[in-house]
Chain A
Amino acid sequence: MDTTADIHDPFDSDMYGANPEQNAAGTPSSLSNATMGGDGADLTPADEGNEDNGNSKRKRFFKVVEVDAPNNLDLDAYIAAYKGHTKINRLEFIATRCPSLQIDALKLAVAELKSVSTMEVGRYVNLVKKLNEAVKFGGPSAANVNPELLTVDRAWADMQVQKVKQQTDLLEGELKNYKRNSIKESIRMGNIELGNHYYACGDLTSAHRCYARTRDYCTTSKHIIELCMNVIKVSIELGNFTHVLTYVVKGESTPEVAQDKELTKAKLKVAAGLSHMDLRKYNQAAREFLTIGEELVSNQYGEVISGNDIAVYGGLCALASFSRPELKRMVIDNVGFRQYLELEPHIRDLIQGFYNSNYAVCLDIMEKWRNDYLLDIHLHSHIEALYTNIRKKALVQFTSPFLTVDLTKMAKSFATTVPVLEQELVSLIIAGQIEARIDSQQKILWAKQTNKRSAIFERSTAMGQEYEKDSKALLLRVQMINHGLVVKGPASDKGVGPHGGPPDGPEDLTGQPFAMRLGGRGSGGRGGARGDQLFENTRSNVSNFLSSFAQLGAQSIPPQAVPSPTVKIYRDAVYYSYKPLGISFNFEPSQPLIPAQYTSGQQTLDPTKLTLVAIHLYKSPADQFSTYPTAFLLPAPTTIVNKSDTAAAVAPVAVVIELDMSKKAHEIVQALGEPEEKQGGGRNGNCWIGYQKSLGFAVDFAGANWEDKEMSIASVTLTRPGDCR
């Protein structure tokens, strides 16, 4: 897995050139800028975006650190555990955050870059510049900086730049060559080498791209593991932890063949743990860290994490999220994890202290190490949250065995004041984590004496009432449905009620449009009922319907103009088309037909077996139909019926929309609202919009460009609302 022979930095010279202000260090404002740049884990937009309070924490942190240095940090020993990018990243992270360690950290970083003959010249130059400024700014150990480190080794740098360029050209050329020969394994290797090179140069995005490309050329599960480890390595540095998690899952589900099977597993667990921690799922993070096993005790995964880190991350996450039994089982009794805890004895003491309810000791340890952890590249933004959680758990545990607790004493053992403690307790009580009440006069916390008997009586009474209410409502509902008392459009209910007054339909439209009469049996039917009634009526007897249609037509059109229909028969559909009228009726037979029998005259259609399923209205010249001559009505998108004579005035709602075939696309959408469905457009043919669920209405347009709002109608389909065919 270790594909990096060289140790380098994630920033190329271009990037630094573009951000000159990053070069200044020493003032808080520029510090925070540099933080964003210098910390690979902080680079992602996600991290910046979702944690506003993370930023505020950082600000508070600066105050702390500018006053005193971390209590326990031995920089040389600390950083020796790491290798690769993370070493430089961590040093730079510490330098930007902790003025008292700034010069030491930068010194180490510069020396490290030089000693491994970095490919990342830009970063080297930049760090040297920073070091110069830090020295100028003064500070501890400013005097004893080796002057050699303060000057940029020009000749060496130029040589390195040259080398990088050559190497890039060489590898890209090779990859091209491999691709031409299309040998899978060569392409994969080429991509990996190029990726390694980019990684060495600090161009993480390009490296990630190269690594990800190898996915198509993986042939064995070993390859897949290699791919996963590469992508994980780059993604962790990029701070893209969701991506890390995806590849962890992928890696874990791969049947392993690698010899260092346990090591790979442990590494994947580290990656998963870091991702969960980044996503603030501390419980899951703790579980990952605690089950790593003994593989990484002596920093075998130094390019990402040290054994010490595992102890700290795992221990803190576990304290913040585990229950007492979990803590005992998964941490204290965990033999594997004990190895890590030996590396960080204070974490062991912390966990023991917490488990033995020595909260003062715990809080003391936590406070002592706070600054150290704030300088950790992964942990820093989680410290506040973890500490708060641990504290909350401590509070809950503290109170649990007592009937009464003196707040003054409790405040003392939690090193806080009574009012602050009271606020903390209140929030815990409201959240249901502590069952107690506060006597704010005498400052005593009383455990809540819940009378279980009373509680059960109250609960059962409430449940009984609920049951009665629900059952009654159900019974009423069933009765209503049985008697057909369902809210529906007035035209389909039992007519004008004894006291209902005239139906509030749009009377003034009666008699005018053709479709209206056709739909409403001359009664001026309401939009909502139009479809249903029309479709119901014809279900039984299509011949009656057709003749009545012809009759109705006769009233508004001269008799000779009523044409006889063109009948087309298919297996599961029959069309009666009146081309001169621009209308066509689509019927469904009750059982599949055999068209040949009808065309050859063997059988005649039995109209009573046909059900009307759709009406199509056409606009010339679509399908050789004439244009449907008159307007038609549709219910308004949300059909509100029954403007009651309520005391509370209800704003009148438009119930019917009148349309005709001359309408343009934008007029239809304006009248009916955003369509439920859209199809077509561009290469997919003409545009089509549907309102079939609510209105039983769909339009085919004579155009394929959605941007063209002046598209005219080609045809219109009316169905029973809800029928989607």
Chain B
Amino acid sequence: MAPTDPALDSVMAKILAASDLTAQKTLLNDLPEHVFTAKAFTSEDPLDAISPAENSLAYLYFLLYRCKASHGFHPALMEKLWAFVSTCDGAQIRLASDKAMSFAEALVKMASESQQPIIAIRPLATFIQRIQSNAGQLTMIHPLLAKTCLLAQSFKDIIPILDNDITDVDPSQTSIDYRDILLYNYYGGMIYAYLKRFERAIDFFRLAVSAPADVTSAIQIEAHKKYVLTSLLHLGKVPPLPKYTAQLVLKALKMHSAAYIDFAGAYEKKSNGAIKSELEKIKPQLIRDKNFGLAKQCMEALHRRNIQDLTRTYLTLSIENIASAIGLGSDPAGQQYVEGIIVQMIESGDIFARISHEHAGGMVSFLDDPNQHNNTATMDTISAQIQSATEITAKLTAMDQKISTMPEFFSKGRHGPMPDFGGYPMDESDYGMQMGYENYVDEESFV
């Protein structure tokens, strides 16, 4: 325990008296570390003296160093911590977002030291919701929370956060950098994949891969690998990446996830043999990348996909025929397996069908989607969609107007549709020389 500092009380007084938050922050930053861990002269805990809701900034500093110093959880500290994360003032915390991040890291550290990483999750989730200025804002704590959840395999608390699409990234408020965005999307995708919400997972991985880039990040490559596998699993094919994906990234992907792309090629052709041999070929890499589980799920999904195809060509088909049509042969075990899959698919609403055991082996009748789209549910979906589309369009229009009034836009527009020559103005004088040289080279290479 640090020696009691007689000055602490006066420090506290000073802090509380500081005229505005910026001044208070400067003051806090200048204080030596031991002040925060010290007990007050009056032997009263300084944290009791200030309110976590009103003096959030100061509270954060004290709490941060407490947490750093603590090993494992103490109920008393936990209580203060809870009081803080559930009542703190987001605006104050955003002023010291780096400290908030350290605080979050210290929290995770404490949790892992007490062998219960799960403890950190709920406080972090609550903290994020407090310090966001809006629900779509990405904070620096997002990736940390996602990672912690993945390690603890507990997703209940992060799902509401993940379900909010990120619409606001502002480093001035949250001290995030591109890495946070990539990591959050990557971890988020992994969480959704774990929960088998593949559509969201694909979206998250896609966001990571298509992020604007001057160089390729390893996160993007890993995200792309998972993007390929989850897409195959969910859609049976890999949708093309958005066309604004950086060329450089695409090039790097071709090199680093070539095996995955080959696998996807075989998978999209739906030929069992080719897929199996391709899978065997890339198995070591899949295991190394820790993606083998996803790949195995892809193989199972293949059967489902084949069955779904059959619903388009058949009205009734015996289970025996289904088994042979999807390449499982005609042994009884295969048939049982097929029946199991069909039952599952009927339950999950992937197909609409009835199985009748009137005939030997069982006969499956495929039905049409009973939803005739003539009910209120459809109306609700459509009107909700129209509404959100309108909102987004409004946002887009606003952004468009904002961009078109920026001076940069005009200075760029002046050059018109001129091609970008690596940032060099295409002046006739220096261009002419270059042309001459190139022509010279061309002639040479023709010889």
Task: List A residues at the B interface (Cβ < 8 Å).
Answer: 426, 429-430, 437-442, 444, 446, 449, 451, 453-454, 457-458, 460-461, 464-465, 467-481, 483-489, 493-494, 497-500, 528, 571-572, 592, 638-644, 646-651, 653, 679, 684, 722-725
Given contacts A451-B372, A647-B150, A653-B218, contact A572 B430 (CB under 8 A): yes
Known contacts A467-B389, A475-B395; 4 additional CB pairs below 8 A are A441-B363, A464-B389, A487-B216, A644-B217
Minimum C-beta distance from A147 to chain B (A) = 60
Given contacts A442-B316, A483-B171, contact A572 B429 (CB under 8 A): yes
Minimum C-beta distance from A540 to chain B (A) = 15
Contact of B183 with A by CB under 8 A: yes
Q: Within 8 Å CB of B308, what residues of A? A: none
Contact of B177 with A by CB under 8 A: yes
Residue of A437, A481, A498, A648 near B315 (CB, 8 A) is A437
Residue of A430, A473, A497, A653 near B242 (CB, 8 A) is A473
Given contacts A440-B321, A454-B372, contact A646 B97 (CB under 8 A): no
Closest to B176 in A: A485
Q: Within 8 Å CB of B221, what residues of A? A: 640
Closest to B216 in A: A640
Q: Within 8 Å CB of B393, what residues of A? A: 471
Minimum C-beta distance from A685 to chain B (A) = 9
Contact of B330 with A by CB under 8 A: no
Q: Within 8 Å CB of B345, what residues of A? A: none
Q: Is the CB of B312 within 8 A of A437?
A: yes
Given contacts A498-B102, A648-B290, contact A438 B178 (CB under 8 A): no
Closest to B97 in A: A498
Minimum C-beta distance from A504 to chain B (A) = 11
Minimum C-beta distance from A363 to chain B (A) = 24
Q: Within 8 Å CB of B97, what residues of A? A: 498
Closest to A571 in B: B429
A446 to B366, CA, bound (A): 12
- Interface stretch, picked from B1-9, B207-215, B229-237, is B207-215
Residue of B207, B220, B399 near A487 (CB, 8 A) is B220
Q: Within 8 Å CB of A429, what residues of B? A: 312-313
Number of chain B interface residues as a range: 35 or more
Q: Is the CB of A468 within 8 A of B392?
A: yes
Q: Which of B285-316 contact A (CB under 8 A)?
A: 288-290, 309, 312-316
A120 to B244, CA, bound (A): 66
A650 to B179, CA, bound (A): 15
Q: Is the CB of B210 within 8 A of A473?
A: yes
Closest to B178 in A: A485
A305 to B199, CA, bound (A): 60
Query: Is the contact region of chain B dominated by helix, strand, or loop, or is it mixed?
Result: helix
Given contacts A440-B314, A498-B97, A723-B422, contact A475 B213 (CB under 8 A): no
Q: Within 8 Å CB of A481, what residues of B? A: 212
Task: List B residues at the A interface (Cβ < 8 Å).
Answer: 97-98, 101-102, 105, 140, 144, 147, 150-151, 165-172, 175-179, 181-183, 186-187, 190, 203, 206-207, 210-222, 242, 244, 246, 251-252, 255-256, 288-290, 309, 312-318, 321, 359, 363, 366, 368-369, 371-374, 378, 381-382, 385-386, 388-389, 392-393, 395-396, 399, 422, 429-430, 433-434, 441, 444, 447
Q: Is the CB of B314 within 8 A of A487?
A: no
Closest to B182 in A: A487
A488 to B447, CA, bound (A): 42
Given contacts A440-B321, A472-B392, A646-B183, contact A486 B214 (CB under 8 A): yes
Minimum C-beta distance from B133 to chain A (A) = 14
Residue of A440, A572, A724 near B316 (CB, 8 A) is A440
Q: Is the CB of A477 within 8 A of B211?
A: yes
A454 to B371, CA, bound (A): 8
- 22 A-B residue pairs with CB within 8 Å: A429-B312, A441-B316, A449-B368, A453-B372, A457-B373, A460-B382, A468-B385, A468-B388, A475-B392, A475-B395, A477-B210, A479-B168, A479-B169, A486-B178, A488-B214, A493-B177, A572-B429, A642-B218, A644-B183, A644-B217, A646-B219, A725-B434
Closest 10 CB pairs of A and B: A498-B98, A487-B213, A457-B373, A464-B385, A439-B315, A441-B316, A488-B214, A429-B313, A485-B178, A471-B392
Q: Is the CB of B169 within 8 A of A480?
A: yes
Q: Within 8 Å CB of A477, what residues of B? A: 210-212, 244
Q: Is the CB of B101 within 8 A of A485?
A: no
Residue of B150, B211, B219, B430 near A480 (CB, 8 A) is B211
A675 to B344, CA, bound (A): 54
Closest to A450 in B: B368
Q: Is the CB of B216 within 8 A of A639?
A: yes
Q: Is the CB of A440 within 8 A of B150?
A: no
A724 to B421, CA, bound (A): 9
Q: Is the CB of B167 within 8 A of A498?
A: no
Minimum C-beta distance from B318 to chain A (A) = 7
Q: Is the CB of B313 within 8 A of A485?
A: no
Q: Within 8 Å CB of A493, what residues of B? A: 177-178
Q: Within 8 Å CB of A528, what residues of B? A: 215
Q: Is the CB of B177 within 8 A of A684?
A: no
Minimum C-beta distance from B305 to chain A (A) = 13
Minimum C-beta distance from B107 to chain A (A) = 13
Q: Is the CB of A480 within 8 A of B167?
A: no
A267 to B289, CA, bound (A): 63
Q: Within 8 Å CB of B430, what residues of A? A: 572, 592
A465 to B16, CA, bound (A): 51
Q: Is the CB of A478 within 8 A of B177?
A: no
Q: Within 8 Å CB of A470, what residues of B? A: 242
Q: Within 8 Å CB of B169, what residues of A? A: 476, 479-480, 483, 485
Given contacts A426-B313, A440-B321, A477-B211, contact A646 B216 (CB under 8 A): no
Minimum C-beta distance from A631 to chain B (A) = 23
A449 to B211, CA, bound (A): 44
A474 to B101, CA, bound (A): 28
Q: Is the CB of A497 within 8 A of B167?
A: no
Q: Is the CB of A679 within 8 A of B433?
A: no
A216 to B195, CA, bound (A): 73
Q: Is the CB of A446 within 8 A of B315?
A: yes
Q: Is the CB of B318 within 8 A of A440?
A: yes
Given contacts A483-B169, A644-B179, A650-B222, contact A638 B151 (CB under 8 A): no
Interface centre among A446, A453, A499, A679 (most CB of B within 10 A): A499
Q: Is the CB of A437 within 8 A of B313?
A: yes
A471 to B168, CA, bound (A): 14
Q: Is the CB of A453 within 8 A of B373?
A: yes
A640 to B214, CA, bound (A): 11
A465 to B434, CA, bound (A): 49
Given contacts A483-B170, A646-B183, A725-B434, contact A638 B214 (CB under 8 A): no
Given contacts A486-B213, A499-B140, A646-B222, contact A438 B313 (CB under 8 A): yes
A460 to B382, CA, bound (A): 9
A441 to B320, CA, bound (A): 12
Interface centre among B177, B183, B190, B321 (most CB of A within 10 A): B177
Closest to A644 in B: B219
Minimum C-beta distance from A424 to chain B (A) = 12
A592 to B244, CA, bound (A): 36
Q: Is the CB of B175 within 8 A of A498?
A: yes
A208 to B203, CA, bound (A): 61
Minimum C-beta distance from A29 to chain B (A) = 32
Q: Is the CB of A488 within 8 A of B215?
A: yes
Residue of A440, A457, A722, A725 near B378 (CB, 8 A) is A457
Minimum C-beta distance from A290 to chain B (A) = 35
Interface centre among B219, B288, B395 (most CB of A within 10 A): B219
Q: Within 8 Å CB of A497, what residues of B? A: 175, 177, 179
Residue of B166, B179, B203, B317 near A642 (CB, 8 A) is B179
A438 to B316, CA, bound (A): 7
Q: Within 8 Å CB of A488, what residues of B? A: 178, 213-215
Q: Within 8 Å CB of B290, what residues of A? A: 648-649
Q: Is the CB of A498 within 8 A of B217?
A: no
A725 to B437, CA, bound (A): 10
Interface centre among A478, A487, A493, A643 (most CB of B within 10 A): A487
Given contacts A457-B373, A464-B386, A488-B214, contact A647 B313 (CB under 8 A): no
